[in-house]
């Protein structure tokens, strides 16, 4: 198998993959917490996957100097990408920052950095769990 060329994908494509990957970690976490009712799962998932939460997480990652230089580059690629979709429940700036967040997950996943994806998901889930969103 050849190496995946994440550098050839635009930020929206990376975010598309990253959104799904991060969501799976959040869903697994919520189910492991014993939450099984659909409405409760959705209500709790929003705390982790909303644009507001993801933008806050990037801010925390920056404060903690958590992202590598390469990851920061992919964050900026996602943040600066021009999307045909618009933000539903947030402002455009927050939506773009959250797209950058998702692009980092997408980059790491698509380049086979499984341990880093798991580490990032654990970091994010821990950070959000400590907050009262």
For the annotated catalytic residues, the residue numbers are 19
- The candidate with the shortest Cα–Cα distance to 123, out of 25, 55, 21, is 25
- Which has the closest alpha carbon to 21: 96, 111, 94, 97? 111
Tokens 């993959």 belong to residue = 17
Name the nearest CA neighbour of 42 among 34, 60, 30, 54: 30
Nearby residues of 26 by Cβ (< 8 Å), 6 or more positions away: 45, 48, 49, 121, 125
Using an 8 Å Cβ cutoff, are 26 and 45 in contact? yes
Instruction: Say how far apart CA 77 and CA 16 lie, in whole Å.
Output: 13
């Amino acid at each position: 198998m050849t190496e995946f060329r994440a550098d050839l994908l635009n930020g929206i494509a990376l975010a598309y993959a990253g959104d799904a990957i991060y969501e799976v970690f959040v869903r697994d976490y919520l189910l492991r917490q014993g939450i099984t009712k659909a409405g409760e799962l959705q209500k709790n998932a929003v705390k982790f996957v909303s644009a507001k939460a993801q933008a806050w997480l990037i801010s925390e990652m920056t404060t903690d100097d958590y992202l590598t230089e390469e990851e920061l580059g992919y964050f900026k690629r996602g943040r600066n990408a021009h999307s045909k979709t618009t933000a539903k429940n947030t402002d455009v700036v927050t939506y773009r920052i959250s797209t950058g967040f998702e692009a980092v997950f997408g980059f790491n996943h698509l380049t086979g950095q499984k341990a880093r994806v798991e580490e990032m998901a654990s970091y994010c889930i821990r950070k959000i769990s400590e907050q009262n969103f």
